[in-house]
Each structure stands twice: as C-alpha cells, then as structure tokens.
Amino acid sequence: MTASSPAPTSAATSPKPGLLIVDDDPLITDTLQFVLSRDFDVTCCANRPDAVAFVRSSAHPPQLALVDLGLPPVPHLPTEGFALVGELLAHLPGLRILVLSGQSDDANARRARALGAIDLVAKPCEPTHLKVMLREALRIGQTDPRSAAEPGNDQAGDQSPAGGLVGHSPALIKLRSQIAMYAASGHPALIEGESGSGKERVAACLHHLSPRADQPYLALNCAAISPALVEPTLFGYAKGAFTGATAQKAGYFEDAGQGTLFLDEIGELPIDLQAKLLRVLENGEFQRVGETQTRVSNARIIAATNRDLRREIRSGGFRSDLYHRLSVFTIQVPPLRDMGEDRLVLLQHFSRTFCTQGGVAPFQLDPAAEQAWRTYGFPGNVRELRNIVIRLVTKYAGRKIGLNDLQAEFDLDPDDALGAGTHLQAIDEARAELSRSTNFNLEDALRSRERLYIEAALSLCQGNVTQAARMLSVNRTTLYGRLEVLARCDPSGRLPGLV
C-alpha cells in the first residue's frame, strides 16, 4: 500500500457478504460504510494500489466491489478506475463489480461493462437503490457453489458441466479436439488466450477427461496473492519459517497429490520463483519454506496466461527454459469474436441458466437486436457476454429487446480500436517498449501502425484502393499519397498489391 494514503478500513469479520469500496472521497466512503455495513462486511480503500494490495492479502476476499472511476493520481480521468476493474478481475475473476462514478456518460458505462463490471451507477445514488443492485449482483450469476471470490474460480468460463464447452463453431470444435488429445497425458500444458475467454474451464476439462479425474484438482491464480506469499502457498512451509508460521503447512504441490495443479496467470509469477517451479517440472522435487527435506510432487501442471510469454522472454520478464517446460502442449483458447454463431448459443445457454435461477421469464431479441448480437466483437469475451446476459435478464425479463436497448449494453466506442479487453495490456506493452528502447522514435512507431491498418484495409478489399480508402474514411488521393510515403520509408519498398 502507498505510505501516503490511509490504510483500508473494514468492518468486523462476519458471515455477511464482503464489499470493497474504492473511492478517494472520505465523505463518500464514510457515508457508504455507515449505510451499507448492516448488510455487508465493508472495506474501504482510497486508491488502486491499496485496493489491489487488499484483495491480494485478504484471507476472505470480497464478493462485491463498488469502484469509483476517478481515482488518484488522475481523479479527473477514468483511467485509474478502468485499470482497477481489470486488475480486480484478474485477481478475483468471480468478483461482482459495480462502477459508482460521477463520470457516468454512456462511453464510460460501456467501457466499464466491457472490462467486466456489472454496471455503472451514477453519483449520487439513493442508498436503498444501491442496496438492491448489490443484492441482485450477488444473487444472480453465481452458478458455482464455491465463493464467487475464491481465487482461481473463473466464472467467465463456467459454460457447462465439467468436461464440456458450449458451442459448435469450428474454433470450438478444434479446441475440444485438442483437449481430448492432451487430456490423458501427464505432461505440462500451457493454455493461452485473452482475458475472459474461459481458460480455467479448459484446464478443468483437461483434468476431468484425464485418468486423474478422481484425484484433486487445485487452482491457484498467481496474480491473486502477494508475491511474498506465492512460494509458501505453492511449496508449503515449516513451523517458524517466518513470522506467523505457527505450524507447518503443506502447499499446493503436496495437496494436489496425484491430481492436477492449475496455475492461472503464470506470467505474474516472480522471476526468482520461476527457477523453483522449473525444478519441480523437471524432476518433481521441491522443498517447503524453512526445510531442507526434499519432497516429490506427482501432480500434473497446467498453466494459463493472457500475456504473450514470448515477448516477456525477450524483455527478461519470463524464463525461456520455464516456458519450454510448460508448453509441452499449447492450447490456444479462441476469442469469442472468432466463434461465429456460438455467440447466440452462449446467449441461449446463459439466458436459460439465469432465468431459471432467478425464477423469471426469458427475454427475446427482435431481429435487429439479434443481428447486432451476431456482429458485436465482445472484446471482454465470454465474461462480457455473460455479464450482458445477467443485465438483460434483470432489466428485460419476459420482454422483447430492441436494437437501442441492446446497444446500450455494448462497448461501441469507435476510439477504442484495440477493444476494451486489450487496451490496458497495450499501454503496458508501450511502457515496456519505451523502457527498453534507447532510441525510440514516435514517428517511426506511428508510421508502422499506419502501415498495418492500410495493409489490413487493402487485404480486406483485395487490393482495391478506392474501397480501402472508403473503409479507412480517407480520400482515395490521400491514401495514394500515404502509400507513396510508406514506400519511400520502407527499405524494401514493399507494398500490398494494388488493383
């Protein structure tokens, strides 16, 4: 936590649902804590680092969160709030987030929902209405009997009973084929895919279809706990190994036994622990913290990441030898935008699930709304689709939904060319590139980006410059001029074929 900000305040431990409130205005946090503490176990944080530190260190993570968009150090912009929504869901995939903000325009609401928030609530909000929304968020959508905030419980991928995935697209058929092919092996597997695409569901399928199905299946989100706790959590510790170690305790490798250990967000594993994990993968040997006795693990290791680990290797953030040990089998989980009609299949699946759970009549999409559903890109993948269905069930049970009502739930910001699900990752990549480069040139970087879009447009238009210019919203002569500039700047002079 930052030394300059007050420590999180929390109500006494109780069986009430945990609620994290993140707002830098003490008047607002004090008021909300007073109003909501009768129904929720409330914890308040003033900024993003404190909130992340809290969820990492808490023995009982919250099930709900109210997050302000305008947080320090840039309270006049929603940047920190959007970043916090993404980080909280990376640490606690089942967390139900409501964005409570004075910056409540439609674009912010759509962006927050695309990142995984349930909805945006405008300040000031009537406490009674806020309580209803929090209870509804807690009630609906929790199909897994485990706590929604349990680390590693990725409900975004909770698409069907163990061993199955919902959908019939070629991309999903290929995914099922890979799972069936690799399930019986005891070798490590690496699952890659965008945030919200259902990587933990794939890991669970690998376990349930394997000969280890009757053995333990343990999941640990490496981003959900403090880096200082990762080693004792994985390997266990001896009594007295550190302050607070009042008794010896086995770690995940021992508890998994002959079963499967799933390490989600493996790219977040500290570099010094990667060497110890490599040793376990090579010969099964490890030691508890504070012990010299060597123990042996027989668990199968499955890892997942939404990062490009090859890029992390080049920047020194991930060991290449560990990557090659983990990726004996590599499974790429397709983004929802590549799954065609599965968008509708998942809509029907989640609609049935949540309507049955809530005891309400199903909604229907009119033809225009259904067509919009078919073509929307879902930058937040299955997690975003699932949250949209939850809101539609809540708002429109038993009703027909039109195009305008449906599009209000989508992130249709034309400025977000990368999609909300990857915007923050793109910023991180830009930071890493700037920190590594000693001669970065903005003009070269922008020219490279421009070339990519022009080549993409020409490819889609089969080299027809007129159609490509229309797609890029520029004049045909302007596009020809930019092509000439790019040709002069490229040593090879290479450009796509023109018609």
Task: Look up the domain containing 485 and give its range.
Answer: 441-499
CATH number of the domain bearing residue 119: 3.40.50.2300
How confident is the prediction along the chain (499 residues), in pLDDT tens digits per residue?
444 445 555 444 457 999 999 999 999 999 999 999 999 999 999 999 999 889 888 878 899 999 998 898 888 888 888 889 888 887 787 789 999 877 556 777 777 887 778 888 888 788 888 888 898 888 764 543 333 333 333 444 444 433 458 888 888 888 988 998 999 999 999 999 998 899 999 999 999 999 999 999 999 988 888 888 889 999 999 999 888 888 999 999 999 999 999 999 999 898 888 999 999 999 999 999 999 999 999 999 999 999 889 988 988 889 999 999 999 999 999 999 999 899 999 999 999 989 998 899 999 999 999 999 998 989 889 999 999 999 999 999 999 999 999 998 987 654 443 344 445 456 556 766 676 667 778 877 887 888 888 888 887 777 778 888 888 888 877 887 788 777 776 655 555 444 4
| End-to-end Cα separation, the chain, in angstroms | 59
Q: Tell me what pLDDT residue 161 has.
A: 35
Q: Tell me what pLDDT residue 41 has.
A: 94
Q: Check whether residue 177 and residue 321 sit in a common domain.
A: yes
Question: Within 170-217, where are the H helices?
Answer: 170-182, 199-208
CATH number of the domain bearing residue 385: 1.10.8.60
How many structural domains is the chain composed of?
Answer: 4
Q: Tell me what pLDDT residue 8 has.
A: 59
List 21's β-bridge partners, or say none. 44, 66
Q: Check whether residue 112 and residue 209 sit in a common domain.
A: no
Q: Check whether residue 313 and residue 196 sit in a common domain.
A: yes
Written as one string, the DSSP assignment of 32-81 is: HHHHHTTTSEEEEESSHHHHHHHHHH-SS--SEEEE-SS-TT-TTSSHHH
Is 19 domain-assigned?
yes
CATH number of the domain bearing residue 464: 1.10.10
Q: Tell me what pLDDT residue 477 has.
A: 77
Q: Check whether residue 364 and residue 471 sit in a common domain.
A: no
Q: Check whether residue 74 and residue 214 sit in a common domain.
A: no
Is 389 domain-assigned?
yes
CA distance 63 to 17: 6
| Nearby residues of 68 by Cβ (< 8 Å), 6 or more positions away | 22, 23, 24, 25, 28, 81, 99, 100, 101
Q: Tell me what pLDDT residue 264 has.
A: 93
Residue 205 and residue 247 in contact, taking contact as beta carbons nearer than 8 Å:
no
Q: Check whether residue 321 and residue 341 sit in a common domain.
A: no
